[in-house]
Structure 1
């Protein structure tokens, strides 16, 4: 299928979905003695003291699918912020694999339009792949954009599609819209059916819509919510609230190359493709952006590729295949918090310093 069906056949599109929905997984995250995986208990204790003083909410370290360390309330559901993009990655992997979506489709093919100032012909030539890489060249305003995003946003028309990387919520929000239109289902139902249920997450698919929230609005106590900002764009941001445990399960799915038990949930080839370094974002540290994941490029300090996503610069979901390790860090950013980026970097350094091999 080379062109979309203009969304006129949602029933047919639904029938194209071949991914099985498994019964809820019986997989349990079990703890082991950190010494078995060559972690220092004394250094992990120091890490816990630091997390408490800095204002973390929780942290979990898994190696080979076993918990070597956990701190704080790992069952509390909190806003994941930009980690939502890594969650979207799995759904795109599933729906490109079964033929529902073709990443070579352009926005013109898909009939994508936004509020004025409308998209130009050049902007409409951007492909789904360009959006996945955050290289669309579309600098339209978007919902849930931070001050930093606005400050760094190029002028409209400055770059052609796939010419320049800019971390762009317009791309990410529009990807959510495209997925829903092509599948005929909400992003939350898709995540619940294909990811949360098979993995045995606590995510129970309660979601709502929030339109034009004020400055001091409160985060709703649900598992997900659309954030519409109608003066900026027709496409909403899609937010998730997950526990540390749920993110740990998601990280394990990616550490296992998309396989869960006997079922290949996310295609292994998709994970490899989407964690390639398409845009170098930090030459000094060897960090790049792939498709909805940040990528740590192998260098003299690390022999294997790793990938991660952060949220608000303090939340983190990291997958380190070379060490068979998954790291999750959370902060309750739904209330006043003190944890900052300096604390974040110190936390990561302390995690790796606690490993004794």
Structure 2
């Protein structure tokens, strides 16, 4: 069911949209008896050799991956570990949040040009007139210019946070949890619905995510701000379905769940992050991109790739030119357990990209 259809009977005005969302715990229904992405019976036909698959499995073991999946041409060509385990998405939540904002924009229920002032948004410390001029687009680009403490903020974020008022909205990219948290509030304010149950109805149910549980979601609060971080757990195979939706430009079984325009716009490169690593030098609407085509090529990666990423090794990468979705998950519930940083994930991306290109 598309968001637009869920709007039937809506009342004009923000916060009063009737989406028909329910609080059902699980995403499964009668039509979701089998996992939507079939397992490739002949990976060789997709260009994968036995040796390449064995090498990837060895790499996953070496890096202690909890779950690793590779989907090509809509088929699961590689699956490793506990792909059904629900794991905290951490900052991967931001790419999910971007998609949720997208359904509102697609439905005409939210404008990216609306300012915080237009939406009636303030915070406990009292935002300045300049800060309240930030638009929804500024927020989801991490360019709001609002530099105050936020929920789920890391020490690195605090140390690198600009001084309040140092940059006007739109001027400066800063990986800002205040922006990401207020995006969730904007969704709920504009839709009038609970974010988690909305995700269930808009994405988890239509995609037949087999493991999604709305009760495995929670909010993280912090003193000094009214905006919380929106956390949830997804399995690797649920995450792969989300990536596949983006690979298919928002279309799923003949229905346009998310517009192709939003998929392209939200995953484009708007900001030079200055961050290290070949796939996170650019930033879209809460998606990571390579800084440029040359950087990607120098590291054996595809220039059109885009990635959602979270602490500890939560990754989903979409590569349209290779018809690929790559998912890695790490179980961060294990205290002092294995984690996967960007450098190790890059080794996975390079291995998968090389194998996928070897048939060209």
- Normalising by structure 2, report the TM-score: 0.85
Match of 1:186 in 2: 194
Is the contact between residue 79 and residue 241 of structure 1 (CA under 8 Å) also seen in structure 2? yes
C-alpha offsets along residues 255-289 of structure 1, whole Å, 9 cap, x if unaligned? 00000011000011111111121102248847310
Match of 1:144 in 2: 152
Is the contact between residue 244 and residue 325 of structure 2 (CA under 8 Å) also seen in structure 1? yes
Q: CA deviation at 1:114?
A: 1.1
Is the contact between residue 202 and residue 246 of structure 1 (CA under 8 Å) also seen in structure 2? yes
Counterpart CA distance in 2 for 1:11 and 1:109 is 13
Counterpart CA distance in 1 for 2:324 and 2:240 is 10
Is the contact between residue 297 and residue 305 of structure 1 (CA under 8 Å) also seen in structure 2? no
Give the SS at the match of 1:107.
coil
Q: 2:128 aligns with which of 112, 120, 131?
A: 120
Match of 1:339 in 2: 339
Task: Map 1:309-324; keep pairs closer than 5 Å.
Answer: 309-312=308-311, 314-324=313-323
- Normalising by structure 1, report the TM-score: 0.86
Counterpart CA distance in 2 for 1:109 and 1:23 is 42
C-alpha offsets along residues 233-272 of structure 1, whole Å, 9 cap, x if unaligned? 1111000100000001111100000000110000111111
C-alpha offsets along residues 187-206 of structure 1, whole Å, 9 cap, x if unaligned? 11111011000000124443
Counterpart CA distance in 2 for 1:311 and 1:252 is 18
Match of 1:259 in 2: 251
2:191 corresponds to 1:198: no
Counterpart CA distance in 1 for 2:14 and 2:170 is 30
Q: 2:169 aligns with which of 161, 169, 185?
A: 161
Is the contact between residue 67 and residue 80 of structure 2 (CA under 8 Å) also seen in structure 1? yes
Is the contact between residue 13 and residue 184 of structure 1 (CA under 8 Å) also seen in structure 2? yes
Give the SS at the match of 1:31.
coil
Q: CA deviation at 1:92?
A: 1.2
Counterpart CA distance in 1 for 2:252 and 2:218 is 27
Counterpart CA distance in 2 for 1:99 and 1:334 is 39
Match of 1:176 in 2: 184
Give the SS at the match of 2:117.
helix
Classify 1:172/1:24 alpha carbon distance in 2 versus 1 (closer, same or farther; 3 Å).
Answer: farther
Q: 1:239 aligns with which of 231, 234, 240?
A: 231
CA RMSD of aligned residues (A): 2.5
Classify 1:184/1:23 alpha carbon distance in 2 versus 1 (closer, same or farther; 3 Å).
Answer: farther
Task: Map 1:1-357; keep pairs closer than 5 Å.
Answer: 9=13, 12-14=16-18, 28-32=36-40, 33-116=42-125, 118-207=126-215, 222=216, 224-229=217-222, 231-282=223-274, 285=278, 287-296=281-290, 299-300=293-294, 301=297, 304-312=303-311, 314-335=313-334, 336-341=336-341, 342-355=343-356, 356-357=358-359
**Worse-matched range after superposition: 39-48 or 136-145:** 39-48
C-alpha offsets along residues 19-74 of structure 1, whole Å, 9 cap, x if unaligned? xx998556622111321111232232122223223221010000011011110011
Classify 1:244/1:126 alpha carbon distance in 2 versus 1 (closer, same or farther; 3 Å).
Answer: same
Is the contact between residue 142 and residue 235 of structure 1 (CA under 8 Å) also seen in structure 2? yes
Is the contact between residue 277 and residue 289 of structure 1 (CA under 8 Å) also seen in structure 2? yes
Classify 1:250/1:325 alpha carbon distance in 2 versus 1 (closer, same or farther; 3 Å).
Answer: same
Is the contact between residue 15 and residue 191 of structure 2 (CA under 8 Å) also seen in structure 1? no
Classify 1:270/1:328 alpha carbon distance in 2 versus 1 (closer, same or farther; 3 Å).
Answer: same
Is the contact between residue 199 and residue 260 of structure 1 (CA under 8 Å) also seen in structure 2? yes
Q: Flag structure 2 segments of 5+ consecutive residues without an equivalent.
A: 1-10, 22-26
Classify 1:55/1:16 alpha carbon distance in 2 versus 1 (closer, same or farther; 3 Å).
Answer: closer
C-alpha offsets along residues 173-221 of structure 1, whole Å, 9 cap, x if unaligned? 00101110111111111110110000001244433xxxxxxxxxxxxxx
Is the contact between residue 14 and residue 109 of structure 2 (CA under 8 Å) also seen in structure 1? no
Counterpart CA distance in 2 for 1:104 and 1:90 is 17
Counterpart CA distance in 2 for 1:11 and 1:122 is 25
Q: Flag structure 1 segments of 5+ consecutive residues without an equivalent.
A: 1-6, 208-221
